[in-house]
Amino acid sequence: MTDTGADGAAARLPGLLLVTGGAGFIGSAVVEQALGRGWRVRVLDSLRADVHGGAPALDERVDFVHGDVRDADVVDAALIGVDAVCHQAAKVGLGVDFQDAPDYVSSNELGTAVVLAAMDRAGIDRLVVASSMVVYGEGSYRTRDGSTERPAPRRIADLDAGVFDPRDESGDLLEPQLIAEDAPLDPRNVYAITKLTQEHLSTSWARSTGGRAAALRYHNVYGPGMPQNTPYAGVASLFRSALERGEAPRVFEDGAQRRDFVHVRDIASANLAALEWTAEQQPDTFRAFNVGSGAVHTIGEMAAALAREAGGPEPVVTGEYRAGDVRHVTASSARLRDELDWEPGVTFEQGMREFATAPLRAAVTG
């Protein structure tokens, strides 16, 4: 283990990092930056067929362990000699239907519990866990009188009628605003519930073992290497794949949904900043951080930017909706900037220009 002496200097030196899910979209970006910062890296990944379309191309410096985070024996072996864990392994995205619920709960909740229990056995006290903006549910809104309101889930009757924006009790539109980490949490689908449970488990682990944990609430992540055709892929990947097929991106609702699109390289740099932060904290510490670009754009704007940069057909606004989706959720990343001295490095314009022609992860065939 890395010495955490009184001066804290040794604690900040990179050691051996375990990245669960390190062969995936975000995990592989974390691995690349960790290697660049001097960490030795071990990856534990199950290479799930519904995520990976082929064998991953891992850096030759990576020690790769093929296995599932739900297998305690595998996790115990993967943790030998490890100084810190970056837990990215999870089933992601809004499920196709409720039949996905057992897989989400098993993969995300049980998997996290197994990893944390193994860390306790191994005496490892530093954790960064991938969380998500979905723990908030609907975003934060301002009423006409200036107060803050978190609206209830949208009614199906309103969505059927094309009324997409949340309103107050008198029928007035609510004004979207940035959401901070101290906002009430309101997960509204199975995936969101499992991400919040991962945070709760990490909090309990820190309290019980004296560990230090940071939960990074990712906003809408995009970038090279996104999954190409899985039904759980993010909207950026779906738009990008449509353009590659010569088809117009299909934008749900009216396209005015507000999001914070953050590049995967910035997500990775936030993970490295959080790893350094865990080396400097007192025992029994848990802290959640939003990770966003700080720039608000609509889903329609993103689709239009990708189409323009790719030279493809203009997006089609369909009016369709998914009942589990929220209307507006955008991040305040002030805590991450102020406490971890982190700044995003990729603007929306730069990111869209690159992503329009960037390679995606190989297609899932099974």
Please identify every residue annotated as catalytic.
191
How many residues are given for the chain? 366
Return d(Cα 228, Cα 184) in angstroms, integer.
34
Report the alpha-carbon angle 190-288-113, nearest 5.
55
Return d(Cα 230, Cα 74) in angstroms, integer.
27
Cβ–Cβ < 8 Å for 330, 271: no
Q: Please name the residue ranges forming H helices in 226-356.
A: 235-244, 264-280, 299-310, 334-340, 348-355
Of 187, 87, 83, nearest to 128 by C-alpha is 87
CB atoms within 10 A of CB 118: 23
Q: Is the dihedral of CA 12, 18, 20, 23 positive or negative?
A: positive
Alpha-carbon 58 to chain mean position: 21
Q: Give the burial string for 286-295 (b: 16+ CB within 10 Å, else e).
A: bbbbbbbbbe
341: burial class by Cβ within 10 Å (0-12, 13-18, 19+)?
exposed
Q: What type of residue sits at position 257? A: Q
Return d(Cα 279, Cα 282) in angstroms, integer.
9
User: Strand, helix or coil at 45?
Assistant: strand
Pairing of strands 250-251, 316-317: parallel
DSSP state of 331: B
